[in-house]
Chains A and B, each alone.
Chain A
Amino acid sequence: MTPANTPANMPAMTSASSSPARNGILLGLLSADPPRSRVLAILLLAILATLMATPFLIPGSQPIGTAAKICIFILLAASFDLLLGYTGIVSFAHTMFFGIGGYGIAIALSRLGATWTSVAIGLIAALALSAVLAFIIGLVSLRVRAIFFSMITLAVASAMLVLASQLSGFTGGEDGLSFQLPPELRPAFRVLADPVLGIPINGRLLAYYLILFVSLGMFLLLLRIVNSPFGRVLQAIRENEFRAEALGYRVVAYRIAASVIAALAATVAGALLALWLRYNGPDTTLSFSIMIDVLLMVVIGGMGTLYGSVIGATLFVLAQSYLQVLMASVSGSLTAVPLLASITHPDRWLLWLGILFVTSVYAFPGGIVGRLRRE
């Protein structure tokens, strides 16, 4: 692997990464795929540092919840980017795998008791189910033409959503499942007797750091995968399917493999979300609106580069939490103008993100990261 390998849709950048040997270990961690833009690098470091320090920087339960959500959605968006940006296929079933992860944990912990063994059993069962489903869907749809994949994943995902709400004896139906966590992750569990910097070091904090480090580890693993020879083949398929096939690569096999890997990563993300919320239901992990959210994150952040998912997911979750406040104030000042007031109503925040999404597909297909790298 050489760092000179750049995806074809992005111009090679040399200015920002002029020290090839200095950060050997760091480059190794990033799989020789550095941000290649000073602004981007600073942004990523700032996000990482803030996430690391959130519990101590901004006390309170809402900021730490937002931070955990950011970690989980970075992982979810990055795994979706493996399909969308690197392989060039659009799946609408990504939240299905996200949901399977959540339900795996929820069902195992509520049935088998709040132990680490149940967490392991639930996670493994969910991973196995996701892998099998992703494999079958890929086999049925990708064999014919890639466009079938989008429609079939949409159909299967909506069937799964209905199933999850119908089989209420198993999944808790519309209400979902609430459950107890293993003792070490409960707020009552004390790691240290005394608070550090005024913050009690309890199980909740432990759960946050578990989520942070698992997400980080999975992200680096995905980075490793997209920069491996396997990842290069995926990019070749994205750029020109026929040429990749002519070079002797089994396009279908590679696409199916990519969709299975993405599904597994999404399952882990779903499991993490369930662990954080101590709850899982159709609306938190399975719903179609989360699928749209993930699509927006990846495209606005930048397709075809995992760093785009970091930026996209962070921006999106922050927007979800704080944009509505801003819009409420704008809308409040526009009450005299009927239509303007209703399109700036806080509930219409998705309208503005949708417009941003469409313009970003046209005007800057590389998303925010593509933009930053061009400067």
Chain B
Amino acid sequence: MNASAANTHGGDLPRTPRDWVPLLLVPALIGVAAPLFGDLSSWVTLTTAGLAMGMMIFLMASGLTLVFGLMDVINFGHGVFISLGAYATLLVLGPLAAWGEADSLALNLGLLGLCILAAMAVTAAVGALFERVIVRPVYGSHLKQILVTVGGLIVAEQLIHALWGASPITVALPQTLRGAFVFGDVAIERYRVIAVVIGLAVFGIMHLVLNRTRIGLLIRAGVENAEMVEALGYRIRRLFVSVFVVGSALAGLGGVMWAFYRQTLTAGMGMDVMVLVFIVIIIGGLGSIGGCFVGSLLIALTANYVGFLAPKLALVSNILVMALVLIWRPQGLFPVNRQ
């Protein structure tokens, strides 16, 4: 899937074998679930819902796992960027409300695009500030990172309350993105298709950047051995700051998608979804983008299937999936070897 997953023990010339087994989990899960549903339509609906939700979780989780992989920094305040991205849509939705009501796909998509741009710009800027003020002084100490980023989370959530008010805000989906595509008796919500497309596009771009560009090479090398990259004369700090900023912007993007999905904004919405994000990056293997992708899909599909078959067990099912994965591979699906 990607090179951070292919570990480098031995380091001889023959390519290290690719680890295919975890990749088969997602199709296997979808396949196994099929007979459990009596009819095709609910299975298709739930599968697309799961895939869409998985893509959104992936967007939110990818930055966090890269930041951890590259700099061994765990950011418990990551959820703030999700909330902030969601609230940033208000900056666009306020003045351009007419675009959302217009019955024109181009205007509606343009509005969504502008929301995403605004959210990513805001979260990137706040991410840079957060890195400078909150995270930078506590490199090397996990305990302090957790404490300080939780502190940052509290302060930022309270600031969101102060700026936008404490009561939930509803946002409406643009006109043409509402409703569903109907094929026979199978209905697929339009917005979910868009979420899947955006998620896949981001995953594809990340994959290309990480595996086909010089900066991606440096990031992957930094994940494996940051000191060596630094010793070779590259400024790992600058690299890290940019990854942190990009990760925050991706969380902002995820926040926009999540906001339109839930259609309600609360300051705590980022923190709520962080529970899933943490489960996902643990399942995937801390620092692995491929693992993060597979983990997101696994968790979201399971949550949707279980939510339909046994609603009360939905969140517990995530814990169960995590426990099973950790029993099988204690370091996650794609362990990242650090030197």
Contacts and interface: CB of A to CB of B under 8 A. Distances in A.
In this complex, the interface size class of chain A, counting residues with CB under 8 Å from chain B, is: 35 or more
A112 interface: no
Contacts of B326: 140, 144
Specify the main secondary structure of chain A where it touches its partner. helix
Contact of B278 (A151, A343, A361): A151
A327 to B, nearest CB: 12
Specify the main secondary structure of chain B where it touches its partner. helix
B151 A354 contact: yes
A143 interface: yes
Contact of B162 (A151, A158, A162, A345): A345
Contact of B150 (A295, A343, A348, A353): A295
A311 to B, nearest CB: 18
Contacts of B312: 166-167
Interface residues of B, number: 42
Nearest to A354: B154
B285 to A, nearest CB: 11
A163 B331 CA distance: 27
Contact of B318 (A159, A355, A357): A159
B134 interface: yes
Name, among B148, B151, B275, B314, the residue most crowded by chain A CB atoms within 10 Å (CB to CB). B151
Interface string B273-288: 0110011011000100
Interface string A144-155: 101110111011
Interface stretch (B41-49, B121-129, B139-147, B180-188): B139-147
Given A348-B158, A361-B148, A362-B137, A163 B142 contact: no
Contacts of A350: 154, 158
B146 A90 contact: yes
B151 A155 contact: no
Name, among B134, B158, B282, the residue most crowded by chain A CB atoms within 10 Å (CB to CB). B158
B319 interface: yes
B134 A358 contact: yes
B152 interface: yes
Interface of A: 84, 88-90, 140, 143-144, 146-148, 150-152, 154-156, 158-159, 162-163, 166-167, 288, 292, 295, 299, 339, 342-343, 345, 347-348, 350-351, 353-355, 357-358, 361-362, 365
25 contacts: A84-B143, A140-B327, A144-B331, A148-B282, A150-B146, A151-B278, A152-B278, A154-B278, A155-B275, A155-B279, A156-B319, A158-B315, A162-B314, A162-B315, A288-B271, A295-B150, A351-B158, A354-B154, A354-B158, A357-B151, A357-B154, A358-B151, A358-B152, A361-B138, A362-B137
**CB-CB nearest 6 A-B residue pairs:** A354-B154, A351-B158, A358-B151, A151-B278, A354-B155, A357-B151
